[in-house]
Amino acid sequence: MAFAGPAKTQTKVLKFDTEEDVAVALAKYTADLSEKYINEKGSFSVVLSGGTLIDTLRKLVESPYKQSVDWSKWLIFWVDERVVPLDHEDSNYLLASRGFLSKVRYLFLPATFTPSTTRNLRKVQQTDYEDRLKDLVSRKILPISNISGFPKFDLMLLGMGPDGHVASLFPSRHHRYEKERWVTFITDSPKPPPPRITFTFPVINSASEIAMVITGADLAGTTKIALGNGQIPGSTPLPCTEVSAEGELTWFLDKDAASKL
Ligand SMILES: O=C(O)[C@H](O)[C@@H](O)[C@H](O)[C@H](O)COP(=O)(O)O
């Protein structure tokens, strides 16, 4: 089913004094959703991004959540990955593995792809990731949204770049307009490294819950635009303004990121 565009979403903006307060609130938010979804459907699918998000998630793998969360019911995915070996310093998998996955046991990584050594590396990885998701859908591990027809994750945890990108969907690249594919690949990402694979907006926007986790003064201007009219005069809307959730979209901001609101 083709994606019709951002659905109406409930948006909440939470502002905190410090980055530490954001980390505390994000851990509680994620642990509460984990309990809710596990009670309702027996599992909790979580999509991670790269960048500072993993560090901001640090409180989730500390007491009390480290013990109280039922990690055995978690399914972990990545919203984007850099096309490098999984043990490469640029890998989002490695980042999450060091800062998060290695701290808890029994996590299930159902769609982690193995980097290919074939010639058409990026294409292979994109197709591989999409095929793995399709397999999970056919095995009824991952549901499809009744609204969009795209796979539906319970929670996406997203960061944002100063240019307003989310995942690897950049303002000046056509991938942000993809309406059919679940996963696409980019060979010239403005943020290094250049080759990446990424979920598309139809998949991102089919999530039940999305957290935009934004800290630091360097994101204050972009945050103001994103939560204002979404556009720098004379340019196209920022990709971050395309984000919507089928349930609730929550912005977590520290004082610095919120300083221009
Ligand atoms: O792999 C990536 O690069 C990310 O998934 C990307 O979308 C990231 O979340 C933003 O660029 C914010 O990154 P920072 O939190 O490091 O600013």
Tokens read off for 24:
């505390």
DSSP helix/strand/coil, 40: helix
Separation of alpha carbons 39 and 73, rounded Å: 10
In this prediction, residue 85 carries a pLDDT of: 84
Best of 49, 94, 163, 222 for a ligand 1 pocket test (most atoms within 8 Å of beta carbon): 49
**Tokens of residue 94, six digits:** 């490695």
- The torsion angles phi and psi of 46, rounded to 5 degrees, stand at -125, 130
Residue scoring higher pLDDT (131 or 159): 159
The residue whose two tokens read 């979920």 is 199
pLDDT, one tens digit per residue, over 10-37 is: 999 999 999 999 999 999 999 999 999 9
* Residue 149 scores a pLDDT above 80: yes
- Could you tell me the maximum CA-CA distance found in the chain, to the nearest angstrom? 50
Ligand 1 atom closest to residue 167's alpha carbon, by position in its atom list: 7
Is 249's pLDDT higher than 70?
A: yes
Determine the pLDDT at residue 118: 37
Residue 213 CA: nearest ligand 1 atom is: 15
Higher pLDDT, 70 or 128: 70
pLDDT higher for 6 or 65?
65
Give the number of the atom of ligand 1 that is nearest the alpha carbon of residue 216.
Answer: 17
pLDDT (0 to 100) of residue 213 = 98
pLDDT at position 8: 59
Task: Report whether pLDDT(205) > 80.
Answer: yes
Question: By three-state DSSP, how is residue 75 classified?
Answer: strand
- pLDDT confidence of 111, banded at 50, 70, 90? low
Q: Which residue has the higher pLDDT, 197 or 122?
A: 197
CA–CA distance, 156 with 79 (Å, rounded to integer): 8
The pLDDT value recorded for residue 211 is 98
Residue 131 confidence (pLDDT) above 50: yes
Q: Domain 11-254 falls in which CATH fold?
A: Rossmann fold (3.40.50)
For 165-189, the pLDDT digits (tens) are 999 999 999 999 999 999 999 999 9
Task: Name the residue type at position 133.
Answer: L
Write the burial class of residue 159 (CB in 10 Å: 0-12 exposed, 13-18 middle, 19+ buried). buried
Whole-angstrom Cα distance, residue 3 to residue 74?
A: 27
Closest ligand 1 atom to the C-alpha of 78? Answer: 5
pLDDT of residue 83: 87
Distance 50 CA to ligand 1 centre (A): 5
- Which amino acid, one-letter code, is at 209? E
Q: What is the pLDDT of residue 125?
A: 66
- Read off the pLDDT band of 5 (50, 70, 90): very low
Mean pLDDT of 157-171: 97
pLDDT of the residue at 128: 82
Pocket test for ligand 1, best of 57, 58, 92, 191 (most atoms within 8 A of CB): 191
Q: What are phi and psi of 13, to 5 degrees?
A: -115, 115
Question: What is the pLDDT, as a whole number, of residue 228?
Answer: 86
Ligand 1 centroid distance, CA of 202 (Å): 19
Assess whether pLDDT exceeds 60 at residue 219.
yes
Return the residue whose CA atom lies nearest to atom 9 of ligand 1: 159
Domain edges within the chain:
11-254
Give the position of tokens 């994000």.
Answer: 26
pLDDT of residue 4: 43
Closest Cα to atom 16, ligand 1: which residue?
51
Per the structure block, which two tokens stand in for 92? 């989002």
Question: Per-residue pLDDT for 116 more than 50?
Answer: no
What is the pLDDT at residue 86?
A: 83
Q: What is the pLDDT of residue 122?
A: 55
Closest CA to 174 of 164, 186, 162, 182: 186
